Structures are given as structure tokens and as C-alpha cells.
């Protein structure tokens, strides 16, 4: 591969991205974590707001988890935010080498190599989907690792990534714009999209969930998810997956009783929210809920505690919530509280 041509192409036409204006390892670390499985255009405003809110690793370490998750809200894959926060609290100083970075919570081989090469000039290769595609097409075979960087390591790694993002794209690659096209074996074959080898796509499971907006006066109930696992630490409306043969109303009564001990009946339908995660899709069928008659359902016994709150719509807006729950909140704000039925 002709080093000079690739580096000249990158230095002349590289996109002016905010994390490319710094060699601060903390800022680069934040950018690389945010860019995992997320498009650049989506990351830019989050990155800028994050560094304004948490300008240093110490500022991040001192911040409450709720503030961290709120700053990340909508970016998805929330374990990234939790790992950043956890690592910031554990680190006494930022690592320098890729090997040291790999010992940091939430930092894998690619992220470690990116930070070390860009911030400190370590001669260590990055290998992600973009780099794999460029190298596999260049060699016309399925490449499983990258050779050591040439020239300036940070520029070389970013040049390969930029080439994969902008030119050597998964579909319809723009071979005529490629600075290394004269040596590319895939281009010479006339079938550049043949590489890298593609894996068969797995069927994505679909879940149907019943969700309840439980009212007590002018407030409704929300609960915090356990910190470990999907959407950990975020606030949500209660509910759960519908079992075979259940109506959504039956599912709501069962799930809410099991989760909270509350006895409620489903009232008016509010909204259905559809959302796609990386490994499944979901429909949230949402209903207003009201207390059932009887001592066990007395709302005066349902008090706030850690991980459980009764909130107004405005108070809920200040909490970090999953995107799908945020859309339920938007619908709730637009619709308002319905009148309580006379049971």
C-alpha cells in the first residue's frame, strides 16, 4: 500500500471533526466511546455537550450517575456511559499505552489502539469494520488483523477509517476517488463488494410489551432499571412482556402487581411506541392505569423510595429515560391526564 498517497489524501481532505482538533487523551477517549456503533453526525452534538458538562476526567468522576445518563440520553448503548463514569472514578491518572488502556473498564482493543495512537503516537494498529473492509478489498481476501501503522500512527489509523467511511463503503464503493485504487486487487477484479466475506443475517426477535402510566393525583409512577444490563440506571414506566394468550390489560395487571405490588386496572389507551434495538425489536402498548378499590390498592401506601418516584411530566423530563419511554412521555404530555373512571 502506498503510504504517501493515503496520508496525503487524508491530510488534504479529512473532515474537520471536533475530536481531531485535540490530542487530549480524555477528549479522544470520550469520542471513541461515543462513536462505537453510532454515526458521526449523531455523536458531534453529544460530544460537544458532554465536554462542556464534564470537561475533565475529574469532573466526570465527581458527577452523579443520573447526570451522566441524562447527558447520554438518546445516544443508546448506555453501558458505554456507565463504563466511562466507573472508569473515571477508578483512574488515578490516564493511561498512555494501548496495553494500559485495555485494562480500563469498557475499553477494548480498538478503542485502546485509537487513543494511544492519536493522543500519544504509539505505533499500534486499529481494526474495526471500516479498516477490515479497506484491507480486505485491497488484498482481495478476508483480512482479520491490521499491520502496524505507517508514517504518523494517529494519521495513518484515521486515514484508513476515513477511507472506509467515505470511499470504500459497504455498498457502491467510490473506487474512482480512492487514493490507493491503482494497487487494489478487489477493484482490479471488478467485484469490490465481494470482500470482506459477509455473514448471514440472523432473524431479529420481536417483543410485545404492556406499559402502564399509573396515576396518583397529578403525578405518575416511574422506576429506575437495575444498573447492570440493558438500559441500566435509566428511569422507565412499569410494564412487561405479554405472555401467550394474555390481553395487554391482563399483562399490565400481572406485571405491575409483580413489579410494584400495586393493584391497578388499565384505563384509556395512550400510545403504541415501536423501537428497534441491536438484537431485538419491541412494541410498547401503553395505557393509563388507575387504582383498584380495596385496602391493598390504597395509594397512600405507595410512597417514593430509592429507585421509585412519583413525578409530574416536568419532573420526568429531567430524568434520563430510554428513547422509547421518552416518546411515551411526549405522548402523555400532549394528551394530559384522563379523568379517573368510576370503578
Active site residue 73: no
**Beta-bridge partner residues of 289:** 214, 266
**16: CB partners within 8 A, 6+ apart:** none
The CA distance from 115 to 23, in Å, is 9
Cite the active site residues: 32
Amino acid at each position: 500500500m502506498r503510504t504517501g498517497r493515503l496520508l496525503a489524501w487524508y491530510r488534504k481532505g479529512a473532515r474537520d471533526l471536533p475530536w481531531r482538533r485535540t490530542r487530549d487523551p480524555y477528549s479522544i477517549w470520550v469520542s471513541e466511546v461515543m462513536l462505537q456503533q453510532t454515526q458521526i453526525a449523531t455523536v458531534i452534538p453529544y460530544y460537544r455537550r458532554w465536554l462542556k458538562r464534564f470537561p475533565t476526567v475529574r469532573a466526570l468522576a465527581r458527577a452523579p450517575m443520573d447526570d451522566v445518563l441524562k447527558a447520554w440520553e438518546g445516544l443508546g448503548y448506555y453501558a458505554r456511559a456507565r463504563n466511562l463514569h466507573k472508569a473515571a472514578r477508578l483512574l488515578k491518572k490516564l493511561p498512555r499505552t494501548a496495553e494500559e488502556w485495555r485494562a480500563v473498564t469498557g475499553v477494548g482493543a480498538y478503542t485502546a489502539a485509537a487513543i494511544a495512537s492519536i493522543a500519544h503516537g504509539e505505533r499500534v494498529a486499529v481494526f474495526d469494520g471500516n479498516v477490515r473492509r479497506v484491507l480486505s478489498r485491497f488484498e482481495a481476501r478476508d483480512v482479520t488483523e491490521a499491520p502496524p501503522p505507517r508514517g504518523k500512527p494517529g494519521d495513518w489509523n484515521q486515514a484508513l477509517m476515513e477511507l472506509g467511511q467515505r470511499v470504500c463503503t459497504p455498498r457502491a464503493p467510490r473506487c474512482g476517488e480512492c487514493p490507493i485504487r491503482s494497487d487494489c486487487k478487489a477493484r482490479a477484479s471488478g467485484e469490490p463488494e465481494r470482500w470482506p466475506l459477509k455473514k448471514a443475517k440472523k432473524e431479529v426477535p420481536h417483543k410485545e410489551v404492556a406499559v402502564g402510566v399509573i396515576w396518583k393525583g397529578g403525578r405518575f409512577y416511574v422506576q429506575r432499571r437495575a444498573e447492570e444490563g440493558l438500559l441500566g440506571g435509566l428511569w422507565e414506566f412499569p410494564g412487561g412482556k405479554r405472555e401467550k394468550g394474555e390481553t395487554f390489560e391482563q399483562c399490565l395487571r400481572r406485571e405491575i402487581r409483580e413489579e410494584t405490588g400495586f393493584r391497578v386496572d388499565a384505563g384509556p389507551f395512550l400510545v403504541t411506541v415501536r423501537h428497534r434495538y441491536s438484537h431485538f425489536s419491541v412494541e410498547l402498548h401503553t395505557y393509563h392505569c388507575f387504582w383498584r378499590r380495596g385496602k391493598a390498592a390504597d395509594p397512600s401506601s405507595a410512597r417514593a423510595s430509592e429507585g421509585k418516584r412519583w413525578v409530574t411530566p416536568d419532573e420526568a423530563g429531567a430524568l434520563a429515560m430510554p428513547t422509547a419511554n421518552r416518546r411515551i412521555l411526549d405522548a402523555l404530555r400532549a394528551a394530559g391526564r384522563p379523568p379517573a373512571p368510576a370503578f
